[in-house]
Amino acid sequence: MKDTHSPFLRYIILLQPPFFSPCLTNNTNFSSKVVCYVMTRGDFTRVLGDLQDILDGKVQKRAVRASQIAQKQKVTYQLDQLEVMNVLGEGGFGKVKLVKAMDTGECYALKAQGKKFIIDNGQKNYCETELRLMKMLKHPNILMMHCAMQDSKYIYFLLDLLPGGELMHILELKGKLAEDWARFYSASVLVAFSEFHRHRIAYRDLKPENVVLDARGFGVVVDLGLAKQLEVR
Ligand SMILES: Nc1ncnc2c1ncn2[C@@H]1O[C@H](COP(=O)(O)OP(=O)(O)O)[C@@H](O)[C@H]1O
Ligand SMILES: [Mg+2]
């Protein structure tokens, strides 16, 4: 059947309760095929965003962004092809540094984890799982890994650069987030988790340090060091 709906109408049709509530009429001959849905302007904006944005096609631009990430090519480099710059962050298991590819000038993040630390702390399986899962996943709200390298002391993951800093940093700056900001970052995490669960992955390390913002301010879940993929039954 030909789809004649505008993108705007398609969005509305796709929405499910509880955002829409069936409007009951007094008509006793109410046909089971006709259901009238109502939605307040506030709920509409909360769920779909600004109507003018939708009409201007900005919603479609967001979809384009997701497809651009899906098409993004992974790069492969050796350590001596990368210029190490600043430290971007530090977690319990490793340091993440800003690096620049010498051939293209493109910047990436390089996560280094000490081999001795991994062995001494029984982290070998976790590190292998992190590598396997990150290689497999490609989603706009989950950190993308390009390639892995090693030298005698460290295992390295070359990662997409997320220049917006940790959500933790925003919480420290702002104290408490306004409700719409909180909803926005929660939505970023929620879509990342939907993707994890689609692959039967339990993430197991959700905290504001592990949500880092990309160049456009979207929340991206990083650090699959504790993630576990459940076996398919
Ligand atoms: N791709 C990235 N771009 C920018 N900063 C990053 C990136 N990945 C991680 N970071 C920063 O480094 C910190 C530690 O990285 P993470 O992978 O969580 O290491 P750990 O496993 O040691 O916790 C993060 O909390 C974040 O601040
Ligand atoms: Mg971490």
Q: 111: CA distance to ligand 1 center in Å?
A: 7
Identify the residue with better confidence: 92 or 170: 170
> CA-to-CA distance for 165 and 109, rounded, in angstroms?
12
| Stretch among 15-29, 74-88, 117-131 having the lowest mean pLDDT | 15-29
In this structure, the residue with its CA closest to atom 11 of ligand 1 is 89
| Stretch among 70-74, 120-124, 205-209 having the lowest mean pLDDT | 70-74
Both tokens of 94, joined, read 């490793």
Ligand (nearest to CA of 159): 1
The 10s digit of each residue's pLDDT in 65-75 is 677 777 789 99
Nearest to 95 by CA among 122, 114, 76, 108: 114
| Stretch among 26-30, 72-76, 229-233 having the lowest mean pLDDT | 26-30
The 10s digit of each residue's pLDDT in 89-111 is 998 888 999 999 999 999 999 99
pLDDT at 2: 46
**Domains of the chain with CATH codes:** 7-67 (no CATH), 79-159 (3.30.200.20), 165-229 (1.10.510.10)
Both tokens of 86, joined, read 């600043």
Q: Rounded to 10 degrees, what is the CA torsion of 113, 117, 123, 125? A: 60
Q: 137: CA distance to ligand 1 center in Å?
A: 17
Nearest to 220 by CA among 211, 230, 231, 233: 211
> CA-to-CA distance for 160 and 77, rounded, in angstroms?
13
> CA-to-CA distance for 116 and 128, rounded, in angstroms?
15
Phi, psi of 39 (to 5 degrees): -145, 135
Pocket test for ligand 1, best of 157, 212, 220 (most atoms within 8 A of CB): 212
Q: 152: CA distance to ligand 2 center in Å?
A: 23
Q: Is 120 a catalytic residue?
A: no
pLDDT at 13: 46
Count other Cβ atoms within 10 Å, centred on residue 116. Answer: 9
Q: Categorize the per-residue pLDDT at 3 as very low, low, confident or very high, splitting at 50, 70 and 90.
A: very low
Kind and range of the H or E run holding 119: helix 115-120
Mean pLDDT of the chain: 85
